[in-house]
Amino acid sequence: MALDPETFDALLGAIRRFVAERLRPLEDQVDREDEVPTEIVQEMREMGLFGLSIPEEHGGLALSMTEEVRVALELGRTTPAFRSVFGTNVGIGSQGLIMAGTDAQKAEWLPRIASGEIITSFALTEPGAGSDSASVQTRAVRDGEVYRLSGTKRYITNADKASLFTVMARTGGEGARGVSAFLVPADLPGVSIGRPERKMGQQGAHVCDVNFDDVVVPAANRLGEEGEGFKIAMRVLDRGRLHIAAVCVGIAERLIGDAVAYASERRQFGKPIGEHQLVQAMIADSKTETMAARALVLESAALKDAGQPITLEAAAAKYFASETVGRVADRTVQIYGGAGYIADYGIERLYRDVRLFRIYEGTSQVQQLVIARETMRRGG
């Protein structure tokens, strides 16, 4: 489903102004304080940003994938910590519920997810299960009408703010087929949250350990059937990877704009540095790669909206876009020279921020494996 063009254009314009007028002036503050101001979070709620992908019948905007990535492109023009405030509600924290939840589960949780009343989080990664996500050891043991959940999840985004976790836990034997998915409220006895980790970048977006100590979870909170958890997780990640790819493109476009502005003003050897061919080469490479990444994201989103499987396309978009924004950030620091290394200009902050994109939602190496496997499966 998609909004009518006029309504969507108005939404996109409002988000563009919000980014330029409200978010960008706060970037340094958020980086220093490691916290997004509460008034900004409330404005995000009022704009409907927590419900971008939630069905209309549950209070969301029900954006199509193409519309969602166009919004993500705009949100990429500021520090990614702002998007992370509601990113789990829009993506990995809600999509399992949307895809596999019962009517009762959706009615209970989705309206509050869409409004931003509650924050969601996606608990898959463990101390011993990162890229090898089928090897989760957190266990859920059936005990009548409940499951007893025990284990530890690591690097969980928005864990310290979350009211609801989508948790992948082992209910059967080893491997992907032994994993099931559960909706676990954060206030259940036995759930505890670790302190936010100190990170290289994306200050203001917190990740924490989440511990489950014999947590009693009603069987009614299971998503889908036993053994379907890994399949649900992979479908959730397909969509999430495409969203993240769009954010990467937005940041790359922001960096190119900053680089061009600086190269037009900074003078060396008697002329603006943008007139030197080796600087022009860096700008040309950045622009070309970013245009290619944007085209790949939009094409993949269109396939998703057409009902086509996008496991390969989402992996390719995330791989290419995340690697691209890393190269663009590096070139932008180089164009700025010494100023690019100084905090006052904000370029070193974005350089740190974008490094994570090559790791979460699946590392670049995992994306390569997915791309190769899917290409071979489809016969080239």
Q: How many CB atoms lie within 10 A of CB 185?
A: 16
Backbone phi, psi, residue 355, to 5°: -60, -30
Residues 193 and 204: beta-carbon distance below 8 Å = no
Q: Of residues 27, 313, 348, 361, which has the active-site annotation?
A: 361
Q: Beta strand pairing status for 222-223 and 207-218?
A: unpaired
Closest CA to 56 of 138, 1, 121: 1
| Cα distance between residue 340 and residue 185, in whole Å | 43
Residues 6+ apart with CB under 8 A from 286: 252, 255, 256, 259, 327, 328, 331, 332
User: Which stretch of DSSP H or E encloses residue 336?
Assistant: helix 311-336
Give the tokens for residue 227.
Answer: 């053994």
User: Which stretch of DSSP H or E encloses residue 156?
Assistant: strand 146-157
The verdict on whether 361 is a catalytic residue reads yes
Closest CA to 85 of 144, 30, 6: 30
- 247 SS3 class: helix
Residues with a catalytic annotation lie at: 361
